[in-house]
Amino acid sequence: MKIAIGSDHAGFSLKVILKNYLEEKGIQVNDFGTFTEESVDYPDFAHPVAESVEKKEVDFGIIMCGTGNGINIAANKHKGIRAALCWNSDIAILSRQHNDANILTLPARFISKEEAIKCVESFIKTLFEGGRHYGRVKKISDF
């Protein structure tokens, strides 16, 4: 499995924790930055992660900023991207099952590292249910 990861300065420390966690599990992580806590603009990191997912260079993306909102909005500008802002594992599971989300977005200032890890685990292990959800997701893609 390959995962693209990115954050702004507010998500930097959580990104490092999650990257290390994933690599310890044997998952390849493509880190698109940022690489310090110096103030940066979240679109500069959302777009490369989204492009990597869009081009199918990776299986999933994980992005984070302070609230998760800005970086999520930026990622969702890309065709074929379904980034889901999740703050607990139940929402992460449902975002995969019902929405076929391909990018997990985390609110770095509002989630513990333990809960963030649970979200990541749930997100990457959960499959899209299809069925009645397929038509709904297709309506999003076809727009």
Tell me which residues are annotated as active site. Answer: 65, 98
Q: Which residues pair with 85 in a beta bridge?
A: 105
Under 8 Å between Cβ of 60 and 103:
yes
* Adjacency order of strands within the sheet including 2-7: 28-31, 2-7, 60-65, 103-107, 83-85
3 state SS of 17: helix
